[in-house]
Amino acid sequence: MPPGAPVPDGAGARASAEDLVRDFNQSLVRMLQLRLGSYDDAWEVAQEAYAKLLNLGNETTISFHRAYLFRIAQNLATDLLRRRAHTEQPAPDGVDLWPDPGTSPERSANAAQLVERLPALLAELPYNCAEAFRLVRVQQLSFADAAGVLGLTERMVRIHVARALTYCQERLDGITDEWEEEQS
């Protein structure tokens, strides 16, 4: 097509895309291959970067296409590396050798004793404190929902739950100490 000839609608974008691939594909793929460690992944990310750039539909972006293309490719490569890091975490060595803490008879007996003792501990607390704990920790309501049920502010419910947790932890630590002394 001669330089002064009218460009059919859409042909300019196609020509720009072809120029873009021809001019920068090799350096883009090399840069991505260094970053990703795989030619296949680099090629796929490069293709996705071209698609994203061209789907913008704005011819003015083509004027600074090289920098923009490489930035898009870098972002896509970063996303790929993050997905890999998240999904491809190896299991620690010897996981199958770790004992299941729930299978210990002593631990099960201790847990049963603690659960058995919890209602008595909650009965020792003021009503709002115990009820906030029951609603949030036992019935799994949000702090806002528990606040609505109790007619308190969400902040006050949080304070009550924290107090109940602290009180129960202190009392249960004493029970655990007693149980360990009995076992000795």
Residue pLDDT, tens place only, 115-162: 788 888 889 999 999 999 999 988 899 999 999 999 999 999 999 999
The yes-or-no verdict on residue 15 having pLDDT over 70 is no
Burial of 181 (0-12, 13-18, 19+ CB in 10 A): exposed
Instruction: Give percent above pLDDT 90 in the chain.
Output: 18
Give the mean model confidence (pLDDT) for residues 11-23.
Answer: 63
**Residue-wise burial string across 24-33, b where 16 or more C-beta atoms lie within 10 A, e elsewhere:** beeebbebbb
pLDDT averaged over every residue in the chain: 76
